[in-house]
Amino acid sequence: MKPFTYEKASSPAQAATAVARERGAKFIAGGTNLLDLMKIEVEAPPHLVDINGLGLDAIAPTDEGGLRVGALVRNTDLAADARIRRDYGLLTRALVAGASGQLRNKATTAGNLLQRTRCPYFYDTHQACNKRLPGSGCAALGGFSRSHAIVGVSNACIAVHPSDMAVAMRALDAAVETVKPDGTTRRIPIADFYKLPGSTPHVENVLAAAELITAVTLPKPVGGTHVYHKVRDRASYAFALVSVAAVLQPDGSGRVALGGVAPMPWRVEAAEANLPKGAKAVTSSLLAGARTTPQNAMKVALVERTLGAVIADAGA
Amino acid sequence: MDITDQLNISRRGFLKLTAVSATVAATPPLVARAAVPDVARAPVTQQVAMEVNGKPATLSLDTRTTLLDALREHMHLTGTKKGCDHGQCGACTVLVDGRRINSCLTLAVMHEGSKVTTIEGLGTPDALHPLQAAFIKHDGYQCGYCTPGQICSAVGVLDEIRRDVPSHVTADIGAKATFSTAELRERMSGNICRCGAYSNIVEAITEVQEGRA
Ligand SMILES: Cc1cc2nc3c(=O)[nH]c(=O)nc-3n(C[C@H](O)[C@H](O)[C@H](O)COP(=O)(O)OP(=O)(O)OC[C@H]3O[C@@H](n4cnc5c(N)ncnc54)[C@H](O)[C@@H]3O)c2cc1C
Ligand code: SF4
Ligand code: FES
Ligand code: FES
């Protein structure tokens, strides 16, 4: 790990100002992703601003009938909240499908959204990786790519966004609230939050430098049956190979978002019109234009079968 | 990493990946877009005060010190183990303000005022914690390396079930969380045991839970 200076922020706005003051400075929340990457020097911030203890850990109702989830609410507490379990069951399901009990006790809502890819070449500083070192190449393209993305990819990067929670947030139409160092705030729909890699895979979202996430809002509950189905190499404590988040209504309509297949939680609203026609029809429009490698081509069939199982489960 | 290292990497990358070199070549020079200029930085020392196993502790630490290293190397509480140092094994599990966490993925300086409990704080050889006694009775280990983490994690698990935290195998997340073998196995999945003592670990924790029920 590279040396760094450390300060505890005194308010959200002060935290943003403090990160803006020093080039490369970063916020630290749960630390479960940032410290992991700092240990192997994939991240090397010269200054850390601790945003714990700023009162950003409440879940409160919004005027619109939804909920505002503070950026620092721990994954365990979000999953266990009675209102989330009742009205946004998909979110609880996605959260408890991720990481381990110990990690969820530390991991925060904002940190989870911003966690970096688990592409093994991103972690291995001896390998070419455009995301870690822009312009160095992408070792995954000629390497082991079984876990990599099949849609939204570019010639520069085929990494997957690893979050389970973000997939549920995308299906639930959540929005990200932020504050910038100059004190201005904004609200970003999650559909516009992440960026595809294109030729700049190191740019993963629309946040400006030193922009602090203060909360994630959930709109009014939409009802329906909530299902999160995660397919992985072991039954627990493993990242998704493919995951399907769905909210299905009694009339056959619904929403579907995918994890494990793209550089961002993957949802194509137009594909949802095909839900009454079944998993095959939805999958072909969800994954239209897929670019697979010989090792990850099986994800197409895996999505279709997992979605089929989800639809069957919801109907049962 | 210095520039020669960076060039070596990119060279290997280019050789391996001629197929995609068009995109790669189109991107600007390497150094221009490195996240942070790699100037040598001096270590930084900071004070932190916390309570460990009921006793106050004030330490002067390099900011890079994890809670795990602070416990083991600075307070000589070597019961807590380092397995992977990356959140992947659970050997470093301790209780902070009553909740189980991986002490390898948190900085000591972030724990000003925290109450930390390690395996040494749960019980002593003369007055074992019920879980420590049950692990001995049921042979819940072979080499014992994962055991402190398993026991601290189990304390956390039983508390999480009491506090109604749902899990991945909870059939009805609208209902109150309950104890079962399936729940226990899922909730303990963050603790790897390379000796494979899992079934005895489950028996040990189950006995303690039933004793309380
Ligand atoms: C072994 C292991 C297994 C895992 N398995 C899974 C899994 O199966 N599914 C899954 O989804 N996740 C998994 N995770 C990842 C885990 O969910 C993340 O590490 C965690 O959610 C990150 O949250 P954090 O608060 O610890 O983030 P931090 O590490 O504190 O921060 C992450 C990044 O976000 C930035 N940041 C944090 N908060 C803010 C804010 N408020 N505003 C702006 N920037 C901010 C930080 O600067 C940093 O760059 C796993 C992790 C490990 C170690
Ligand atoms: S897929 Fe993306 S993260 Fe992985 S090596 Fe290629 S550029 Fe890096
Ligand atoms: S040493 Fe912390 S999880 Fe392995
Ligand atoms: S007893 Fe040896 S690793 Fe668990």
C-alpha distances in Å from residue B157, one per residue of A124, A238, B79, B184: 34, 19, 20, 8
Please answer yes or no on whether A1 and B166 come within 8 Å at the CB atom: no
> Chain A, 45-84: which have a CB under 8 Å from a chain B CB?
45-46, 48, 50, 52, 76, 79-80
Write the CATH number for A16.
3.30.43.10
**Mutate which of B82, B84, B92, B141 for ligand 4 pocket (most atoms within 8 A of beta carbon):** B141
Which candidate from A32, A35, A85 shows the least CB-CB separation from B173? A85
What pLDDT shows up at residue B10?
Answer: 42
Question: Is the reported ipTM for this assembly greater than 0.95?
Answer: yes
Higher pLDDT, A155 or B34: A155
**Given the CA of residue A141, which atom of ligand 2 is nearest to it?**
6
* CA A246 to chain centroid: 16
Residue where a domain terminates, one of A53, A68, A92: A53
pLDDT of residue B28: 40
Dihedrals phi, psi of B91, to nearest 5 degrees:
-60, -25
Chain B's closest residue to A234, CA to CA, is B189
Q: Would an 8 Å CB–CB cutoff place A24 in contact with chain B?
A: yes
**Beta carbons of B86 and A128 less than 8 Å apart:** no
Q: How far is CA A274 from the centre of its chain?
A: 25
Can you read off the two tokens belonging to residue B155?
């304390």
A261-275 average pLDDT score: 98
A292 is a domain residue = yes
Give the global pTM.
Answer: 0.94
- Domain limits for position A252: 225-315
Instruction: Summarize the confidence of residues A219-239 as an average pLDDT.
Output: 97
**Domain-embedded: residue A42:** yes
Please give the distance, rounded to the nearest whole angstrom, from the Cα atom of residue A305 to the centre of ligand 3: 35
Residue nearest to atom 3 of ligand 3 (CA): B87
B199 CA distance to ligand 3 middle (Å)? 21
Q: Which of B2, B4, B6, B9 to mutate to test the interface with A (most CBs of A within 10 A)?
A: B9
How far B200 CA lies from chain A's nearest CA (Å)? 19
A116 lines ligand 2 (CB under 6 A): no
CATH number of the domain that A291 lies in? 3.30.390.50
A147 to chain B, closest Cα gap in Å: 18
- Using CB atoms and an 8 Å cut-off, which of residues 167-196 of chain A contact chain B? none
| pLDDT mean across residues, chain A | 97
3-state DSSP percent of chain A in helix, strand and coil, to 5: 30, 20, 50
Per the CB < 8 Å rule, is A4 touching B64? Answer: yes
pLDDT in tens, B18-60: 333 334 433 443 433 345 556 689 999 999 999 999 999 999 9
> Average of pLDDT values for A205-217?
98
| Residue in B19, B85, B165 nearest the CB of A39 | B85
| Beta-carbon separation of B30 and A135 below 8 A | yes
Which pLDDT band, with edges at 50, 70 and 90, does A316 fall under? low
Is A10 at the interface with chain B, CB within 8 A? no
| Domains in chain A, number | 2
**Does residue B120 surpass a pLDDT of 60?**
yes
Higher pLDDT, A37 or B26: A37
Residue A104 within a domain = no
User: Domains of chain B, with CATH numbers?
Assistant: 1-41 (no CATH), 45-122 (3.10.20.30), 130-212 (1.10.150.120)
Give me the residue label for tokens 């194509």.
Answer: A268
- pLDDT 10s digits, A111-137: 999 999 999 999 999 999 999 999 999
CB A255 within 8 A of CB A236: no
pLDDT above 70: percentage of residues in chain B = 81
Distance A226 CA to ligand 2 centre (A): 32
With a 6 Å cutoff on the Cβ, whether A119 touches ligand 2 is yes
List chain B residues with CB under 8 Å of A128: 9-10, 12-14, 16-17
**pLDDT tens-digit series, residues A187-200:** 999 999 999 999 99
Testing the interface with B: which of A23, A27, A35 to mutate, by most B Cβ within 10 A? A35
Q: What does the block give as tokens for B189?
A: 């999945």
What residues in B contact A127, CB-CB < 8 Å?
9, 12-13
Amino acid at B177: A
* Nearest ligand to residue B89 Cα: 3
pLDDT at B208 over 50: yes
- Tokens for A129? 């990786």
Q: What pLDDT shows up at residue B36?
A: 53
Whether A157 maps to a domain, the answer reads no
Asked whether the predicted pLDDT for residue A213 surpasses 60, the reply is yes
How far off is chain A from B35, nearest CA to CA, in Å?
7
Supply A81's token pair: 């909240």
Q: Of A52, A53, A47, whose CA–CA distance to A21 is shortest?
A: A47
The span from the CA of B65 to the CA of B71, in Å, is: 10
pLDDT computed for residue A79 by the predictor: 98
Q: Which of A211, A230, A108 is nearest to A168 (CA)?
A: A230
Calculate how far, in angstroms, residue B102's C-alpha sits from the geometric centre of ligand 1: 13
Average pLDDT over residues A213-234: 98
Selecting from A3, A80, A135 the residue whose C-beta is nearest the C-beta of B10 gives: A135
With beta carbons less than 8 A apart as the criterion, state whether B97 and B115 touch: yes
Joined tokens for residue A34: 């940032």
Residue B212's pLDDT is what? 73
Q: Is B87 in the pocket of ligand 1 (CB under 6 A)?
A: yes
What b/e sequence results for A8-32 when a residue is b if at least 16 CB atoms lie within 10 Å of its CB, and e otherwise? bbeebbbbbbbbbebebbbbbbbbb
CA distance B92 to chain A (A): 10
Mean pLDDT within B160-178: 97
CA atoms within 13 A on the CB side of B81: 20
